[in-house]
Structure 1
Amino acid sequence: MTTKYLIRLDDACPTMDSVKWEKMLNILDRYEVKPMVGIIPHNEDPKLHIDVEDPNFWQKARDWDKKGWAIALHGYNHCYISEKGGINPLWNRSEFAGVSFEIQCKKIKEGLRILNGHGINPKYFFAPSHTFDENTLLALKKCSDIRIISDTIATKPYKDGDFVFIPQLGGHCTEMKIPGIWTFCLHPNIMNENDFNVTETFFKSHVTEIIGFDDLNLDNIGRKSLGSRFLSYLYFTYRKIRGIK
């Protein structure tokens, strides 16, 4: 198996840091990288009220969609109401994991209503802090057509039940020594000048290995491999030993 890279941008919303996002978007365009963008439908996280509300945000989001960028439903309001990690326990905080099925359904329905109302129909989902549970999957199945999740730890996409999982590992771009399909999760709102330089240097060096989410062949994929299960076990054991919550 060869090595390919995917780029994911988290926390797009009308009050995001417009200067940093513009810088990130210019780098993406320069190297013709087509990322996934996670949009928060109704941001209520005070940490993401960075700029005044951008009246052109939703037009920008529609433009990303037209350019072939993948659009994901990134939760509903980005507010943590649980201390559970769920089935992907990177952190002990969540908008979804540990929350009732009924509330999760309401969040997903309302989030999609907002995005659909702006002409955006996402086919991907990922939760704030990467944390979700079985009720999240049941709510997505009942209340949406979304069947692809960007998260969990593995070396390549796999299927589990009704859902396809595109694994995500790493908060910055770096060369991976293990062959696989690796998603790097970037947060433009909190990136500094060095982060942007590192990202652009990586793009420049690996542009032929960076693919878009629509380039993935998700037909006839199998279940999570034993190797990926072992990698997941090692990853979460390491975090537990380090006391990362």
Structure 2
Amino acid sequence: MIGKLKLLNEAETGPFISTLRQRKSPTILGFLNQHGYNIAQRHASVRDSFMHVDHLLRDGIGIKIACLFNGREPKANLNGSDFIPRLIEELVSGSGDNHELFAMGTREPWLSEGARSLFGDRDFHAIDGFKSSEEYLEFYRKHHVPGRYPIIVLAMGMPKQEQVALYLQNEMETPALLICGGAILDFAAERFPRAPLLFRRFGLEWAFRMLIEPRRLFKRYAVGIPLFFYYLSRSLLARPRHISSASRSGKRQATSYK
């Protein structure tokens, strides 16, 4: 799954946003963090969802380590909390009425407050994050104006948001952008505070979040981080056996041709 990541440095983010602006079909943008990696290791259906996301960006120090384990340069940390507001602003600014904005996720009052913060003074349509995929499609169709380009922020958490995004993508014909944003609406509404800059600079935002939400996040990090390293180690240990097996197979084939 690490091979699926689109790894970018800061200089490459501008051209990447331009690519998203020129999309010709429904496009999904997602983010992979340590928590998502763990879920994908336990559930094949979740892994499949991530593999079908069009653009999967690196989020957090855990996936930086996973990249290094897999011999890939991690490049920039493009976490959704920082990248999504910038992306939306660059896509929508100066576009007139070409876009329409949707927020799908969390609950009120953070849903509306987060959407207003994320979208500024622009009009938007919002629905909470506890509906079925079919209800989100019905909501989209009810509010979509033909000729406009939808930007849909899905903030339902993993893996539901990726699954809903794939369902919507399969049912849409408009070149929409579907953004899997995790807790982006809650952060935008200031329901949860962002970690101080020092924590973020050293990749410790997860530790700050666990301190302020221990009941909800203790298992995700205190248990999830050791489990994450177990999955990485398992992958690393499996690789030489595969290479060795292939090498032996090649030698047998070479012998048979003599």
TM-score, length-normalised on structure 1?
0.31
TM-score, length-normalised on structure 2?
0.30
Q: Which has the larger radius of gyration?
A: 2
Q: Determine which structure has the larger helix proportion and give its number.
A: 2
